[in-house]
Amino acid sequence: MFGFRTAAVAVLSLLFVYGSGLHAAEVSPFSGSHAPLSGEGYDLKIGDRVFSLAEVQGMQTYQSTFKTAFNFEGTFVGVKLLDVLQQAGIGDFKRLFVRAANDYKVTVSPSDPGIDQALLVYSLNGKLLPLNDKGPYWLVWPQNAEAVLAGDAATTKWSWSVVEIQKIF
């Protein structure tokens, strides 16, 4: 009976969140220009590959405008997590290890809600994320932004200062 009750509460919670007017932040292609900077310190290691900022910016970039639970808001620009993984030769995975410069670690799985729209962003409101404040890359989940603000979703998958992503299995 406990399993049924837990499942019922989860379903009702989802109905409340999505039926309450909360909407996912839209993710759309970015057609602006990138600020010409050296990109020093903006390397990103994925698997055995190291991507420079220029290489990341050369991929299809996306933008999404939302407010975070960390008091940052505006237009975030970056690449879809799944796209950059594909570029690194990681097509299928059961779990990823995401490491930040300060050794904060999260794991990501293909079943995580919003993974199709998860962005690895490097820019907020037209400026690169500073290396000493959220940069070089911030893993954000635009589809979950409003649910996080409402207290209906956790921020445990959000990770700033991302420097490395590895396939665990």
How far apart CA 168 and CA 166 sit, in angstroms, is 6
How far apart CA 120 and CA 62 sit, in angstroms, is 10
Q: Is the pLDDT of residue 152 over 70?
A: yes
Grouping H, G, I as helix, E, B as strand and the rest as coil, residue 78 is: strand
How would residue 79 be classed by pLDDT, with cut points 50, 70 and 90? very high
Cis omega (within 30 of 0) for bond into 130: no
User: What H or E segment, with its residue span, contains residue 10?
Assistant: helix 2-19
pTM of the model: 0.79
13 Cβ contact list (under 8 Å, min separation 6): 152
Looking at residue 29, its pLDDT comes to 73
Average pLDDT over residues 100-114: 95
Domains contained in the chain, CATH given: 24-167 (3.90.420.10)
Q: What size, in residues, is the chain?
A: 169
Average pLDDT over residues 7-18: 34
Amino acid at 107: T
Residue of 92, 101, 56 whose CA lies nearest to 168:
92
Read off the pLDDT of residues 32-48 as tens digits, 9 standing for 90 and up.
Answer: 665 544 557 889 999 99
